[in-house]
Each structure stands twice: as structure tokens, then as C-alpha cells.
Amino acid sequence: ARELEWAKNSPELLAKHKETNGDIVRTRFPPEPNGYLHIGHAKSMNMNFSLAFEKLNVPMENRRTIFRYDDTNPDAETKEYIDSLKRDVAWLGWTPERTTYSSDNFVKLHDLAVQLIKKGLAYCCDMTKLEMEVQRELAMKRVSAKSSGKDPDDEYPIPSPDVLPGRNRDTSIERNLEIFDKMKRGIYDEGTWTLRLKMDFESANPNMYDLVAYRIKFTSHPHAGKGWCIYPAYDFTHGICDSLEQIDYSICTLEFETRREPYYWILWALDMFRPNVYEMSRLNCQYTVLSKRRLLKLVNANYVRGWDDPRMPTISGLRRRGYTKEIVNKFCNDLGATRASNVIEYEKLANTARTCLSETSQRAMVALDPIEITISNWKEHEGTTLTFSVQNSPTDDSLGEHSITLTSTLYIDSSDFRLEDSEEYYGLAPNKAVGIKYHGGNIICDKVIQDNGKVKKLICRLDNAEDRPKPKTWISWVPSDGIRCEVRVYNHLFTVAEPSDLWEEELNPESEIVYADAIIDPSVSELVDASKLDKWQSNAALQFERMGYFVVDLDTTWSHEKKEGKLVFNRTVSLREEIAI
Ligand code: ATP
Ligand code: MG
Ligand code: MG
């Protein structure tokens, strides 16, 4: 980026900053409370709370990060969002030096605006939005004509100084102070007057064309309350708050690169300390969208169950889906700091989840679409030991073990049964013997009971003889005391990796598949007790054999004690990469 004259701090400002800050290095994370935080914000937090300091070799004890609500647009901001942001920052494990609100500076910002008027660097303007657009267009055309060696007065003549530089630019300071005061007192209607910065219509950067610093808005504010009817614009507020909070490194995403110049101009105009501004690339992730506007649309149009729907790329959605803060932070750390524009492969996130969850998850057997099996020769086996001890994790003894008991009724998943047997198929079929896991014996399917063409029940024989034939495989099963549950299997939210402008038509109709009558082995009963679940924590991860990693959903009301209630699981991620639907 070009060195800007007004980006430089005077020796006095530097000395003062050093005096108050010493060796402290400060960053900030400034989300607007106009939606929930998403995985892109997680990357930004990882940068501001950790990675930036590492890159700058700042020792632990000197690192400070301010968590700031960038709340200058009351139309879109709510208390719900304010609360959710705070929880998500904490959940990810970040501890801010302090939490601030841009709106806490409203009085100061107003006083600084008055100062700019007094310096002749700001003026009240009654041009309409459309007039301002015309003005901006014309200025842009003239600048580009000039830069290609043409005479702007020939190519794009100015019809009247009312248009460019605009009819209000030369209003007296006294009159400007009077109008601004009336704006503040609610004398004027919305959309009539703004306060604009007297910048430079000949700049190559259109963000220097007399930015609007204040506009009239008769909306109460979710944090500041009812006191204001003029609100400062983002561009005016942001740099000033950074400076007031003694931020050393102000990190934003690349679209803001052209806003660097007004950022510094404002601080120059007010002779305030100027932080270092850095831009990094915005995170985009395949098969999802990361714009709050689009995420809000998904929620409002009921495409999803809410901001915390497990398909949402929000922090609360990821949490509900079974992602842990370790997974999210590891993913962000692995991304590092980049300026190249990046659309991250979805599988990167999924693989990080698999790596982390394989170490901690307890195993359980589940039948998503269960078929009941009755063992016809059960009498012959009564008296033998039919309770088996199963390791909670095949690789980690410390996760303990549980037992399952075989009785005359058991359940298998419909994917383990076919009416037609074939050479390459290992599962159960009519008149075929297949092994059952843990028990080790074979079951032979003698009879199939169907209901409307759907296999409902099988009558099988148990063969536990020494000389029984060796089966091709041993299938999973759920014992008769299994718990009925609902299992929600999640796939990509979109059918295309990079949703286009027609994104709503690209939503995946199979992004959520609900198995409403699944059944799970009872070993998980205590683990999934609703009274022990916490909406704001990651709940225990389970690995359902062959099907993936799952977590208990918030809709669960299951009580371990009473052995009743509704039990719902969400699939976090499949065991291996699957072909995208
Ligand atoms: P949106 O356009 O979705 O509203 P935003 O940038 O306005 O996004 P903020 O809540 O203002 O959202 O962002 C807070 C901080 O998080 C900013 O510093 C911003 O740069 C950063 N951030 C937001 N989205 C991303 C992303 N996708 N990747 C990286 N950083 C992001
Ligand atoms: Mg925004
Ligand atoms: Mg923003």
C-alpha cells in the first residue's frame, strides 16, 4: 500500500502512546451485533487474540485484545445478537482485556465531529442519496479521465458547483454548527441532512469523496438507549475508537483496504494517535455462505432451524453440530494469516473434526432405520452368557467400557439386509448366515416379514456351534433395551461448492436427513441425559459405528433416571470423506 502522509504519527503522539502503553501490544476484535458470529469471525479472533502476537513475537504477558461491539447501526442490531457474540467469544476460549462498545463513545464522537466542523473539515449537507451518487459518479469519471491524460472539463464537465463539489461545502462554520445541533435535537427528518467530511474529490480513491460521518435516524439503540437521533457512520467511528482504545494493530479484511485512507485522514484531521492498519483475506468456505445478510435470510426464510442450526457456519451452529472449540481453533490456526483470497475446502474443516473427535469419542451401535430380528431358537441358548463387555473406545482404554446383552430380540440397520443376495454383498439376506458382533455367533435368516413392501421384521436362527461356517462379516446390532431416538444426518447446505448470486436456488434439499425411528444401544443413556446437557458447551461426542461422529442435540429431553423423553442426535461429520451430494 501507498505510504500516506496522514498515516504518520507525530513524535509527540508516539511518545505519548509509548508512555501510556509501555511494552503492551494491543489488537481488537470488533464485530457488529447484527447477526451471530461465524467461522470467518473465528479466523479473525484467532488472528487478533493469538496469531498476530505470535507473528510479532510479543511475549504472553504483553498481549492485549479488546472485544468491541461495533454498534453504530441500530437498525440491524439487537440485544439477542449482543448476548450471543459474548457467549461465542467466551466459548472459543478467548479472554478480552475488556469489552467495549463503540456506542459508549457516542458523546466523544459527537464532540470530535463538532471539532472537525470548527476546523472547517466537516460540513452539514442536504444532498439526497441520489444526488450524492451522481456526485460520486462524476468525480470518479473526472479522476479517471485525468489519469488517462484527458481533460476532465472536456470529457465530463461539471454542470454546476451545486453538484460537484456540492452546494453545502462552503457553508460557514457557525451555520454548520447550528444545523448539526438541530440534527442532534431532532428538528430535521430522517434523510434530510448529513454531516460530511471535507475530504478530496480529486483523489484516486472514491472513499475520499466527502464521506458521510453522521446521519439522522429516529431509532433507539440496543445499547445506548433512546438518547440519540443522529448516529456516526462506521468509517467515522472505527478509527476513532481504535485510537481512543490505544490499539496498536487494527486488522481487518481486504475489502477495507481502500478505507485505510479515510481512516487515517480522520485521525490526521483530529491529530489523534494512528494505529497500524493491516488487511488479511476474508475466509470463505465451500458449500456455505459467510455473509451475515445471507445467513439472516436463511434464518428468516426458515431454510434452517435458526442461527444455531447445525448446518449453519455460525459458531453456535458448529457447536450444536458437535464441533468443539479445539476443532474450530485448530482449523483457524492451520489456515494461518493470508492475503491471498481463499475459499477453503469444506473437507479441511471436516478432517480437522475427524482428527480431534477420533481421540475422544465413545463408541455406540445404532440402527438408523431399524429392522427387528426375533431369534426363533432362543430356548436353546438360554443359560449361556450373553452379556458382553465392550470397550468405549477401541484405541483408548481410559474411556472405559460398557456391556450389552443379547436377548431374543435385537435390531440391525436396514443397510445390513437385502432381499437379493449377491457375491460382493457381505450382509444378511434370506437363507444366509452372517456373524453378529461381540457375540461372535451366526444368525441365519429364515423368514422375512414385510409391510407395504418394506422389510419390518426377520425371523432368524442363532448358530453358536463350534463347527459353524465362518461368515464373511460380523454386523452391528442394537440390543432389545435400545433407546428410540431421532438421528439427523447433515450434508452440505448447498449443492455447489461456491454458491452464486442465485444461492437460494442452490440450497441442498437433502442437507438434513431425519431418521425419526432410530434406535441406539443403552450404554449412552447416562451420557445423553438432558438435565446434564448445556446449550453453551460442547456435549460429549459419540462415534456411531460406520456412520460417523454424533452429538446430542438441544431438542433432547431424554431422562436417564425416568428412561423416557425424546433423544435427538446430530451428525457432526462422517467417518471418511464422502462424495458431496
Ligand atoms: P458481514 O459482511 O458478514 O456483515 P463484517 O465484516 O461486516 O461481515 P463484522 O461483524 O463487522 O462483519 O466483523 C467483525 C470482524 O471479523 C472484522 O474485523 C472482520 O474483518 C472480521 N471478519 C468478518 N467476516 C470475516 C471472514 N469471513 N473472514 C475473516 N474475517 C472476517
Ligand atoms: Mg457487516
Ligand atoms: Mg463490520
Q: Is residue 135 part of a domain?
A: no
Quick one: what percent of the chain has pLDDT higher than 70? 98
Our measurement of the distance from residue 309's CA atom to the centroid of its chain's CA atoms, rounded to an integer in Å, reads 11
- Read off the pLDDT band of 414 (50, 70, 90): very high
Judgement on whether residues 506 and 567 belong to the same structural domain of the protein: yes
Distances (CA, A) of 106 to 110, 221, 223: 6, 11, 11
Q: Which of 229, 263, 280 is the last residue of a domain?
A: 280
Judgement on whether residues 507 and 433 belong to the same structural domain of the protein: no
Q: Is residue 221 part of a domain?
A: yes
Judgement on whether residues 113 and 250 belong to the same structural domain of the protein: yes
Task: Write down the pLDDT at residue 580.
Answer: 44
Residue 292 annotated among the catalytic residues of the structure: yes
| 238 Cβ closer than 6 Å to some ligand 1 atom | no
Task: Write down the pLDDT at residue 385.
Answer: 64
Judgement on whether residues 104 and 198 belong to the same structural domain of the protein: yes
The helix/strand/coil state of 99 is strand
Residue range 195-253, pLDDT digits in tens: 999 999 999 999 999 999 999 999 999 999 999 999 999 999 999 999 999 999 999 99
Our measurement of the distance from residue 315's CA atom to the centroid of its chain's CA atoms, rounded to an integer in Å, reads 4
Q: Is residue 255 part of a domain?
A: yes
Among 253, 263, 341, 343, which residue has the most ligand 1 atoms within 8 Å of its CB, making it the best to mutate? 253
Task: Write down the pLDDT at residue 340.
Answer: 76
Q: Is pLDDT of 273 > 80?
A: yes
Task: Write down the pLDDT at residue 177.
Answer: 98
Q: Look at 136-140, 375-379, 388-392, 465-469 and tell me which has the smallest mean pLDDT.
A: 388-392
Judgement on whether residues 268 and 379 belong to the same structural domain of the protein: no
| 32 Cβ closer than 6 Å to some ligand 1 atom | yes
Residue 214 has phi, psi (to 5 degrees) of -140, 145
Q: Is pLDDT of 448 > 50?
A: yes
Secondary structure in 3-state letters for 365-423: CEECCEEEEEECCHHHHCCCCCEEEEECCCCCHHHCEEEEECCCEEEEEHHHECCCCCC
Judgement on whether residues 172 and 250 belong to the same structural domain of the protein: yes
For 187-207, letters b (16+ CB in 10 Å) and e give ebeeeebbbbbbbbbeeebeb
| 77 Cβ closer than 6 Å to some ligand 1 atom | no
The helix (run of H) or strand (run of E) holding residue 448 is: strand 442-451
Task: Give the span between the Cα atoms of 515 and 518, in whole angstroms.
Answer: 6
Residues whose beta carbons lie less than 5 angstroms from ion ligand 3: 32
The catalytic position among 28, 63, 198, 282 is 282
Judgement on whether residues 48 and 183 belong to the same structural domain of the protein: yes
Of all protein residues, whose CA lies closest to atom 27 belonging to ligand 1?
Answer: 40
Task: Write down the pLDDT at residue 399.
Answer: 85
We report the CATH number of the domain holding residue 110 as 3.40.50.620
Task: Write down the pLDDT at residue 26.
Answer: 98
Give the β-pairing of 478-479 and 409-413. antiparallel
CA 555 to centroid of ligand 3, rounded, Å: 32
Domain count, the chain: 3
Task: Give the span between the Cα atoms of 571 and 581, in whole angstroms.
Answer: 16
Judgement on whether residues 202 and 263 belong to the same structural domain of the protein: yes
- Read off the pLDDT band of 581 (50, 70, 90): very low
The helix (run of H) or strand (run of E) holding residue 462 is: strand 454-463
| 1 against 330, higher pLDDT | 330
Task: Give the span between the Cα atoms of 60 and 54, in whole angstroms.
Answer: 9
Q: Is residue 552 part of a domain?
A: yes
Task: Write down the pLDDT at residue 376.
Answer: 96
Q: Is pLDDT of 579 > 60?
A: no
Task: Give the span between the Cα atoms of 196 and 117, in whole angstroms.
Answer: 9
Residue 18 annotated among the catalytic residues of the structure: no
Q: Is pLDDT of 3 > 60?
A: no
Quick one: what percent of the chain has pLDDT higher than 90? 86
| 346 against 501, higher pLDDT | 501
Q: Is residue 384 part of a domain?
A: yes
DSSP string, 17-42: HHHHHTT-EEEEE---SSS--BHHHH
Q: Is residue 439 part of a domain?
A: yes
The DSSP bridge partners found for residue 428 are: 417
Judgement on whether residues 530 and 453 belong to the same structural domain of the protein: no
Of all protein residues, whose CA lies closest to atom 2 belonging to ligand 1?
Answer: 291
Judgement on whether residues 489 and 437 belong to the same structural domain of the protein: no
Q: Is residue 276 part of a domain?
A: yes
Among 34, 41, 328, 332, which residue has the most ligand 1 atoms within 8 Å of its CB, making it the best to mutate? 41
Q: Is pLDDT of 433 > 50?
A: yes
Judgement on whether residues 29 and 119 belong to the same structural domain of the protein: yes
Look up the domain containing 525 and give its range: 483-573
Q: What share of the chain is helix, strand, coil (3-state, %, to 5)?
A: 35, 25, 40
Judgement on whether residues 438 and 542 belong to the same structural domain of the protein: no
Q: Is residue 349 part of a domain?
A: no
Task: Give the span between the Cα atoms of 579 and 438, in whole angstroms.
Answer: 31
Task: Write down the pLDDT at residue 169.
Answer: 96
Ligand nearest to the Cα of 253, by number: 1
CA 38 to centroid of ligand 1, rounded, Å: 9
Secondary structure in 3-state letters for 120-163: CCEEEECCCHHHHHHHHHHHHHHHHHHHCCCCHHHHCCCCCCHH
| 28 Cβ closer than 6 Å to some ligand 1 atom | no
Task: Write down the pLDDT at residue 79.
Answer: 96
Q: Is pLDDT of 4 > 80?
A: no
The half-sphere exposure of 416 on its side-chain side, counting CA atoms within 13 A, is 30
Q: Which of 445, 476, 507 is the last residue of a domain?
A: 476
Task: Give the span between the Cα atoms of 173 and 193, in whole angstroms.
Answer: 16
Residue range 90-132, pLDDT digits in tens: 999 999 999 999 999 999 999 999 999 999 999 999 999 999 9
In terms of Cβ atoms closer than 10 Å to its own Cβ (0-12, 13-18, 19+), residue 366 is buried
CA 105 to centroid of ligand 1, rounded, Å: 21
| 556 Cβ closer than 6 Å to some ligand 1 atom | no
We report the CATH number of the domain holding residue 466 as 2.40.240.10
Q: At what angle do helices 106-118 and 234-244 cross, to 10 degrees?
A: 110
Q: Which of 280, 304, 323 is the last residue of a domain?
A: 280
Give the β-pairing of 548-552 and 541-544. antiparallel
Chain-wide mean pLDDT for the chain? Answer: 94
Residue range 460-485, pLDDT digits in tens: 999 989 999 999 999 999 999 999 99
Residue range 81-90, pLDDT digits in tens: 999 999 999 9
